[in-house]
């Protein structure tokens, strides 16, 4: 079978300056297959404080020395203006953007009553708002081209983990954002998916127990799946995949058969709660492009900016 290539395509990979890091692995693989890559990273590292700074210029050098094309961008993704500047870097260098990988982020491990307001804002800004601002920045260019691929980093932490309430909330927001982007992008040739990656990275070295870090798989085993989701041949949109150690799994969500009573009372809910929680009978929640609510919910009046 033919090799999958990205010749002539322009990709932005945010948070690509760490080593080891997922972003670096994505950027290196895409470049090795012919993509022109904007290596974005503001250098603060996984703690957001510069405790272990990232070096995106080194990744750019690695790509160029390997025969690929890359440019450096050190703008933050955490606000609208700087996200626009990231995209402008791609436009100035190559005149377009075909691929966006929302990978940038920081972490602060603490329980909900311990994490500071500053760290809450920093985590949400880097992960959730970073994905929103970057997507908004590339969207008009992808719409005009009638083509685009967006892959965003969600996480298994959105399903619930100790010390990661804010991080998980940001990742859950990215998952939800991606599903709606799939619906909005369908008419414009834009496909969006999210991932829950697992690998040894500068962030996992910061978070995981020492005895686990040495057994974590390399980020390079995550990169092939992400590259496939970025490829023009990939038809799926709005999906969530867990990717780690060479394994890729399609994440499904379901609801139980539950309990129905048109005259339901508080006591009815109490008395039938076991049935509501019974997982023996369940149905899968539709993928976003199959969700009838996408057609039912429509604005009644034209949107007026506030």
* Catalytic residue positions, numbered: 167
Q: Which residues contact 220 (CB under 8 A, 6 or more apart)?
A: 25, 29
- Geometric angle at alpha carbon 10, from 105 and 155, rounded to 5°: 25
Of the candidates 93, 88, 21, the residue with the CA atom closest to the CA atom of residue 58? 21
3-state secondary structure of 273: helix
Provide the Cα torsion 229, 10, 25, 154; round to 10°.
-50
Strand partners, 284: 254
> Which segments within the chain are labelled E, that is strand?
10-13, 36-40, 69-73, 99-102, 148-153, 190-198, 240-244, 247-250, 254-256, 282-284
Q: How far is CA 82 from the centre of its chain?
A: 18
């Amino acid at each position: 079978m033919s090799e999958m290539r990205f010749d002539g395509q322009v990709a932005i990979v945010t948070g690509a300056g760490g080593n080891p890091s997922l972003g670096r692995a994505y950027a290196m693989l895409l470049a090795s297959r012919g993509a022109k890559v904007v290596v974005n990273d503001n250098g603060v590292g996984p703690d957001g404080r510069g405790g272990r700074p990232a070096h995106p210029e080194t990744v750019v050098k690695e790509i160029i020395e390997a025969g690929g094309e890359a440019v450096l961008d050190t703008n933050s993704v955490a606000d609208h203006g700087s996200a626009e500047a990231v995209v402008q870097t791609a436009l100035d260098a190559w005149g377009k953007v075909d691929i966006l990988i929302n990978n940038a982020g920081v972490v602060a491990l603490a329980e909900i009553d311990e994490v500071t307001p500053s760290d809450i804002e920093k985590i949400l800004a880097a992960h959730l708002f970073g994905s929103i601002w970057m997507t908004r920045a590339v969207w008009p260019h992808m719409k005009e081209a009638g083509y685009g691929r967006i892959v965003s980093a969600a996480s298994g932490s959105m399903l619930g983990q100790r010390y990661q309430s804010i991080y998980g909330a940001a990742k859950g927001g990215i998952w939800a954002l991606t599903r709606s982007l799939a619906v909005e992008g369908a008419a414009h040739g834009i496909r969006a998916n999210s991932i829950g990656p697992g690998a040894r990275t500068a962030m996992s070295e910061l978070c995981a127990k020492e005895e686990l870090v040495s057994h974590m798989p390399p980020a390079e085993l995550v990169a092939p799946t992400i590259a496939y989701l970025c490829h023009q041949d990939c038809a799926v949109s709005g999906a969530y995949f867990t990717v780690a150690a060479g394994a890729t799994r399609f994440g499904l969500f379901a609801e139980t058969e539950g309990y129905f009573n048109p005259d339901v009372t508080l006591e009815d809910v109490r008395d039938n709660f076991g049935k509501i929680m019974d997982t023996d009978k369940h149905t899968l929640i539709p993928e976003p492009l199959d969700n009838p609510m996408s057609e039912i919910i429509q604005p009644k009046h034209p949107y007026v900016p506030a």
